[in-house]
Amino acid sequence: MLKFFGRQWRGEAPFWVSVLVVSLILPWALIVGGTQWLSADTIESTPQRSIIASAIIFSLIAVVGVWQLVGTWRASSRSKAPDRWWITRWMGRLVAVAGFALTAFVLSTVPPAMARFYSEMNDTDYIGQQGHSLTVDGDRVVITGQLSWGLYDQFVQALRDDQVQTIVLNSNGGHYAVGRRMAVLINENGLDTLTTEMCASACTFAYLGGHNRTLQAGARLGYHAPSGNTDQVLSNVGAHMAGVLRTANVPDEFIQHMLATPGDKVWFPTVDELRQANIVTDVIE
């Protein structure tokens, strides 16, 4: 493999291998595969992990983009193949330039993505700026406001108190990954969840992590489909949400109703619907 890497860089690899495999197929395969993997991997990832994973994948894409361009350009030179038809040589170079242009276009999306991850990490994104509150009241952790990454860090610290038994969730949402990670911690610690007012969007996935999931009379749980900036993100997150709910024995009818609710709307199921969907286990006055 290393020998081929060097041969391609020097323009000594077989011409049609350089053009068709290295400059045409490889950049597309790496970009499509890498971005799809990142899209799936970052669903439950922390911003820090997303930054590291993105840096690795896009650095690899950049290296391959430059490597294929230089190698195929050299392989297309007159000195490497003086008898090759000039149209063939320039066709090879055109393919290499197109592969590099695609690489450059994809890399242009990296700075905004990194900036978004960094702002989420520091709670300076839109969700973080909306604010949140976490207080420990005896055996309860009471959470209001947005589920931001700053809140998640506080939540991890709060669970170090062995007295905590119940997580009170009154939030209109936040980052889906935060809700999911909170649910895992709640479940692993055998804690209960309670909503006394409203828990919507990402909050409902944190609520689902409770061993006993209680709803105070008059309180509501709100659901909707994911929102995102690309169809791939929407598809991946939607499929992930559906998988989480199915694992919790939530009926497909309920899941489909949630996914059919636009991201800018909220569906509030009745208490009976929530019981039948195995989401709420008890209702208190």
Distance between CA atoms of residues 79 and 74, nearest Å? 9
DSSP secondary-structure letter at 135?
A: E
Least reliable range by pLDDT among 23-32, 79-88, 157-166, 182-191 = 79-88
Task: For residue 234, name the pLDDT band (cuts at 50, 70, 90).
Answer: confident
Measured at the alpha carbon of residue 115, what is the angle toward residues 233 and 206, in degrees to the nearest 5? Answer: 50
Q: End-to-end alpha-carbon separation of the chain, Å?
A: 68
Distance between CA atoms of residues 17 and 45, nearest Å? 38
CATH of domain 130-284: 3.90.226.10
User: In this predicted structure, what is the pLDDT of residue 198?
Assistant: 98
Q: What is the mean pLDDT of residues 173-197?
A: 97
Tens-place pLDDT, residues 236-248: 899 999 999 999 9
pTM of the model: 0.88
> In the predicted model, is pLDDT for residue 82 greater than 80?
no
Sheet holding 166-170, edge to edge: 132-137, 140-145, 166-170, 192-195, 213-216, 282-284
CA–chain centroid gap for 123, Å, is: 17
Q: Report phi then psi at 194, rounded to 5.
A: -145, 135
User: In this predicted structure, what is the pLDDT of residue 89?
Assistant: 85
Tens-place pLDDT, residues 119-167: 999 999 999 999 999 999 999 999 999 999 999 999 999 999 889 999 9
